[in-house]
């Protein structure tokens, strides 16, 4: 009912003027932002250079958890808003791709987390003897684990069901003049491409490499991610596969899987679950996370001719985790503008 009221009260009002908005970027951030704007009654088009299945979001693991993302003061609220939405979507996992799955964050303590952790149901410190692998501490939780190909298809269908249109269309830069010529409000959800389109030199790629294997019977997730290291260890059971990771290689823009890196990923995961060493490899994935010095940018600025440009990018490796919270903030800026 609240969203129905939003749709009725927001139509044709606020910063969107005549209600026309172009969201540039068709990944998880762009689609959730487009949905939130459409729920407010605006006429929204998404312009995406790539099909949703070929965006960086499609490569994500994707476990809900605030990972390598700033600004700290905002991340907790954005993350919790997204968590609540995923908890709702988990009621229909076959359609939405969202499931609530148990697992362990190794090498992590509750006292080291922000206030947001108090709002995560069931998050608890484990006794040392219950922490897998060579780790002395860890947390147990039941968190949203998202099958991104399914979820991205659901997001697009949800958006189009609200009357939105998804268009394969690239934007050249710098600037967003092409989009601004067709809508008074442009929302920049271009991820790493904002480095050239804005331009924003604070953006940098953080390369993530994954290995997909047949699942040998693993039904819970595991992570051990040192924020200061370029190597991480995690596995996520998804329908039809087990996703193994990973890397966090700053400044590396190679999109080709590295065989030595893949072998090291498998070996690290097999230290936790030895059966992974014998699992048949199904494929490899590489994605470039859009990290930004200073953290996520959600900010409005005027466009020539009286238009409005709203930025929503720089989410690093936590775009899925904060997508809905950031979408709501971006939608607020559109309305206020």
pLDDT tens readout for residues 261-271? 999 999 999 99
- Residue 272 is classified by DSSP as H
pLDDT of residue 12: 37
Average pLDDT of the chain to the nearest whole number: 93
Residue ranges of the annotated binding site for FAD are 56-57, 171, 190, 316-321
Which pLDDT value is given to residue 233?
Answer: 97
Write b or e for each residue in 28-60: b if 16 or more Cβ atoms lie within 10 A of its Cβ, otherwise e.
Answer: bbbbbbbbbbbbbbbbbbbbbeeebeebbbbbb
| pLDDT higher than 90, residue 149 | yes
Judge whether residue 9 has pLDDT over 60: no
Q: What is the CA radius of gyration of the chain?
A: 20
DSSP 184: S
* Averaged pLDDT, 291-309: 95
Q: What is the pLDDT of residues 271-294, one digit of tens each?
A: 999 999 999 999 999 999 999 999
Q: Which domains does the chain have, with CATH numbers?
A: 2-336 (3.40.50.720)
pLDDT in tens, 226-237: 767 889 999 999
- Whether pLDDT at 210 is above 80: yes
pTM of the model: 0.93
Residue 173: pLDDT band by 50, 70, 90 thresholds? Answer: confident
Beta strand segments in the chain, E? 20-24, 43-48, 98-106, 124-125, 138-146, 165-168, 185-188, 203-213, 221-225, 231-238, 241-247, 249-250, 281-292, 297-303, 307-313
Q: How many residues are given for the chain?
A: 337
pLDDT (average), residues 198-225: 97
Lowest-confidence pick of 63-72, 235-244, 275-284: 63-72
Q: Is the pLDDT of residue 297 over 90?
A: yes
Residue 189, burial from CB neighbour count under 10 angstroms (0-12, 13-18, 19+): buried
Annotated binding site: 56-57, 171, 190, 234, 289, 316-321
- What residues form the annotated binding site for D-dopa? 234, 289, 317
């Amino acid at each position: 009912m609240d969203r129905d009221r939003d749709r009725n009260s927001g139509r044709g009002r606020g910063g969107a003027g005549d209600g026309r908005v172009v969201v540039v970027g068709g990944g998880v951030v762009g689609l959730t932002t487009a949905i939130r704007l459409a729920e407010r009654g605006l006429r929204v088009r998404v312009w995406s250079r790539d099909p949703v299945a070929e965006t960086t979001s499609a490569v994500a693991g994707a476990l809900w958890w605030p990972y390598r993302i700033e600004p700290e003061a905002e991340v907790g609220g954005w993350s919790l808003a997204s968590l609540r939405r995923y908890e709702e979507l988990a009621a229909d996992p076959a359609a939405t791709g969202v499931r609530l799955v148990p697992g362990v964050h190794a090498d992590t303590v509750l006292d080291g987390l922000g206030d947001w952790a108090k709002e995560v149901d069931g998050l608890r410190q484990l006794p040392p003897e219950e922490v897998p692998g060579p780790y002395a501490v860890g947390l147990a939780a039941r968190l949203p684990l998202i099958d991104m190909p399914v979820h991205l298809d659901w997001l697009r269908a949800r958006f189009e069901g609200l009357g939105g249109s998804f268009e394969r269309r690239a934007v050249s830069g710098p600037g967003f003049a092409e989009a601004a010529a067709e809508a008074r409000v442009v929302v920049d959800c271009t991820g790493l491409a904002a480095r050239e389109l804005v331009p924003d030199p604070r953006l940098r790629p953080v390369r993530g490499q994954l290995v997909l294997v047949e699942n040998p019977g693993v039904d819970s997730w595991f992570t051990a991610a040192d924020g200061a290291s370029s190597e991480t260890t995690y596995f996520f059971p998804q329908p039809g596969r087990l996703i193994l990771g990973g890397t966090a290689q700053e400044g590396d823009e190679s999109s080709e899987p590295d065989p030595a890196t893949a072998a090291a990923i498998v070996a690290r995961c097999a230290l936790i679950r030895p059966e992974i060493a014998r699992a048949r490899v199904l494929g490899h994935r590489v994605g470039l996370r859009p990290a930004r010095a200073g953290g996520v940018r959600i900010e409005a600025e005027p466009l020539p001719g009286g238009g409005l440009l709203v930025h929503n990018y720089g989410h690093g490796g936590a775009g899925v985790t904060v997508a809905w919270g950031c979408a709501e903030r971006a939608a607020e800026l559109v309305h206020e503008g």
